[in-house]
Structure formats: C-alpha cells, structure tokens
Structure 1
Amino acid sequence: MLEDVKDDLLPIGQFARLCRLSVKQLRHYADLGLLPPAWVDPASGYRYYRADQARQALSIGLLRSLDVPLSAIGEVLSGTTAVQALERIRDELEAELARRRRTLATLERLLSQGLPSARVRLARERPQRVVTTRETAASPQDIGRATTACVARLLEHAHAPRAGGGQDEGPRTADVRLVGLFPVEMDEPIPVTVALRTDGPAPRGTRQDVLPGGLFARATHIGPYDQINLTAHALLAWCAERGHAPHGPIREVYLSDPARTPPERLATRLMVRLGEAAP
C-alpha cells in the first residue's frame, strides 16, 4: 500500500523516467538480478526504487548502449572484475569489427569482379610423405587462428640458420612447402590440418602421414587468404557442374611467403581430389 512506502522510495514508473529506461527494462534487469527493487509491495506486487539506485540504473543503460551484453554487466558493476570484463568485451568487439572489415573487402571484390570464377585444370598428383599437425576451429571465423597455430608449429622445426653464418631471420614459408587441409562441409567444430612436405622425422607436436595421390581439379587464388573462399566456391562449382563429388578435404598449397608478399599478391593453389584412386 502507498501509505506503507517510505518517503525515499520512488514508484517504478517515476524511477524509469528518472533513469531514461522503460518499466519493461527495469523489470527485466530485476529478474536478472542486476537491479532489484528496493521494496516490493506485498499486497500489489508494485515495485519501488531508491533514488541512490539511479546511478547503477544509468550505468546499465550506458553499458547496453556500448553493446556490453547483460551477462557481463554484472561483472562490470561488481567492481572486482570490471577491468577484465571490459577488456574481454573490447577484444570481442575488435574481433567482430575485423571480421566485418574482411567481409566488406570480399563484397568489394565481388562488386568489382562479379561472382567468383576460376581457371580450373586437372592434374594427377603422386602420394606425398608429410608431417601434419592439427587444430580445431570453433567456427569459420576461427579458421585463421587455427591455421596460423599449425603453421607456426611446423615452421618452428622447418628452418635452420641461413647459409653464410648470418643470423636466422625467422620462418620463411617460401623455403618450405606447406599444405592446408580443410573439410568441404564446415560443420562446427572444424578440424584444421596443415602438412609439411618432408621425408624427415616428425617433430614434436606432429605426426607422419601420407597425402593421397590421384586426379585433382585445381585452381590458383591470387589475393588475401581471407578471400580464398571465393576461389574455393568457383572450384567446387566447377566440380559440381561436371558431376564430380570432392573426395577428401580441400587442399591449399601456399606458394607465397606472407612475410615477403603483399596480401593482394599472395598465391595459393587450391586442389580438390576427384575420388579417383592413385595409381
């Protein structure tokens, strides 16, 4: 009852206007435990708030305007883990922004060049001895990270100091032959494998394997790695139009050293095995 309400309490409607929130939002935040009312009338169920709760209510509104999810706002308001929570949200937003920029770059390429097409050739490959290492990508957006981790693991053991006694300048993919192996169907999680063509022993964290030979359809992608999907689309479309079902993963043979080659000039050979057994 209103006569039972203390003078320092505000009805939910008045408090909502004071904090630039809706009554519905206040009820939702209360249900989540973010902003419980100071007092609830046991007879009517009507909610009341103290004026000193306005700062917390306005802070919730500010954080929501910055796309901080409700699940993290409690951490921020608690004060004990506020910095860590905000840093995590910042990193997630930066990753999403980077993904959006890559998507925009791909759309610009489609606008300038049209739907992807590629010159496809048939080639017969022999089986190849390799060492491989694997990572699991949580989503298509995580494939770059997983691939980079695999490459770093292989390159750690692939180079010796340069000839002439000079100090090693670090990994150079132009000096080795790396092959990425990716499933045609991107069901999550996504297994990512990178192979290093070698007859030597398998270094720590890798295992010896054999890449099957056979008849392959292949095309060359020129451009950034994050636009390889355009050439992969064209290659798979070529196979589908001719009734060829891919047999095994898509292979990416890295022909350029990304440390020395501009992204727009990177060359990658894409290969799809057509299911014919190696001789």
Structure 2
Amino acid sequence: MLTIGDFARASRLSARTLRRYDELGLLPPARVDPFTGYRYYAEAQLERARLVGWLRRIGMPLAEVGRVCTLYETDPGAAARAIRAYWAGVESDTAARRDLASSLVDRMKGTTGMTTDDNTAPALTLRAAALLDRGLVRALQQDAAHTGPRLLAVADGYGPEGERAAHAAVAALAAVPAPPPAPRPGDVLNALDEGVREANAAVAGLADSGTTLTAALLAGSRLALAHVGDSRAYLLRDGVLTRLTRDHTVVQALVDAGELDPAEAAERPDRALLLKALDGGDVPPEPELGVREVRAGDRLLLCTDGLSALVPAEEIELALVRAGDPQATVRSLAALARGLGAPDNLACVVADVA
C-alpha cells in the first residue's frame, strides 16, 4: 500500500487532485484509515491514475473520463473508440471555430464587403419551397422544415420522440425575433445563436430523443448560417454547387483529421454517428456559425441526410440547375431519392435569392 504522498509522486498527480478524484468517485483509495482518515492506495491503481491524468491532459471532462476508465477495465477496444470519438469532436469544434474566425476577420477587414450594406441596392428576399418525404422504408416522418422570406431551416429528429423534437426545434427557432434587414455587425449571428439555444430548450424532456438543425437567415446581403448535426446547406452560384456546412459526425471529423479517405466515409456503417445534436441538455451544443455574402440569382439548398447521404452531389447540382422554380426543384430532388430506394426521411428547402 502507498500513502497518498507516495501515490501522488508515482502517478504524477497532486495530493489535492487525488482527494478531488476520490470525492468524485473517479479514483477512490484502496483503504481509508478509520481513525486517522489517511488514504492508502494500491500499486495496481497506478495504471488507472495515469490514464486519468492522460485523459485530463487532452481536455476530456471528468464525467467522460470516468466512463472511459470503466470501459478500459472491461473492454479496452471500446475505451479506445470512445477516446477517438471524443478527439474527433474536438477536431470538429476546432474546425468550426476556425471557419467562424476567418469569416469574422474577413468582415472586419472589409475583404468580403460585409462591413456595410449598400442602401441603394435592391432589397433581397428568399423565394422558397419545402418538401417533406417519409421515404420508402421508414414508418414515421421525423424531419421538419421551415421557409420564409428571410429564414430557412431543416431538422432531422431521432429517437422515440424524434418527430416532436424536430418540429419543436424548428418552431422555436422561427419564433426568435429576427434582426432588422440591415443589422449592425454581429446582430444576425447573435439572433441565430439565440435561436439555436431556444431550439435546444424546446427539445428538453423528450427522453432519448433529439434533432439536428441547420438554418439560414438573410439580412441585407448577408446570409448567416447556424448548424448542428449532419443536415446540410449548399449554395448554387453560376451553376456551381458549394457546400456551406460541415457534418458534425465522427466520420467527418476523421476525414478532416486526415485519418479517413472521403471516398471511404460514405461506406462506413457509422457515418451517421453524431458528435453534436440538440438534445435538450442544460448546456446546449455550440452551433457552427458563419456568414456569407449572397446576391440575386443565387440558389440555396438546405436538406437532411435522407437526400445528401444518398444522392451524389453531382446529381443534386444538376437538379438545382435544371429543375425550374423552387417547388419543381424540391419535387425533383425527392424523386432522385426515391429512385435510389429512399431508405430515410427527407426534408429539403430550395430558395432563390431575388
């Protein structure tokens, strides 16, 4: 048996840290003297102590550290997968924040023309259509969509209350007051960020259920995006389709980190394993936020993975170019999914900037 001082030196954790881990049940001593209260540790506990220390060094929260340590004792492979999934989430968050930082830098430098709006330019609006399709396999429709002259959104619910979660999230987002058409810098992002928080709160209480959420808000010539999960937003400009969001999935994080080839990602059985979703938790997930300049003639697509995970991007691009007005286009996209078996629900919104 080792005293707490000896164990601290051997594990490279301070005595204060060890007492804290004991209080949390993360690393209780092997024995506590009933008279003096001194803590004693077994040498066999050193491996767990060092693992705890390593996991804390990569920033893993204490609750997750305990789960991984317990897994390691019974199934080291599962523990390894849990660590990999956690780090994939860190990589995804870092990438999203990097993109937002770049967007803000460009705006402040004026390199994208985002610092002011031209009051002489015609006002922009969105002419949109939405379509929900249950698909050919699923018994329930758990997707939702919203369209308006300035706000677009899609959500993909999961779990036993997935339909309620998706609709509640979209309704809560749409109820948040939008900034004025020519807002001050930051107002449009703040409005969407608040909308995501309200959407997460609306999902609270739906046991084992949640939803993705992807939204676009038009203000002046700026389009602000808020994104959580693996639904997607695209921009079609001059016949070229550009993806505006990054999937918050383990597979996408592995692709971003260079550990997985993009061609392999589509074949992975765990490609829909989410790193982020709205689940009603006390701490809402940080949405991926961004701002882009748009102009008349642009076409936007927001969709759930019932479309994007099934229909190749080049076919989606072709449909957006050829199908006609937004209503005809959403029907054309749904037909593409059905032609490939439509194994999942589908929600899509097509909007023309006019």
Question: TM-score scaled by structure 1?
Answer: 0.49
Question: TM-score scaled by structure 2?
Answer: 0.40
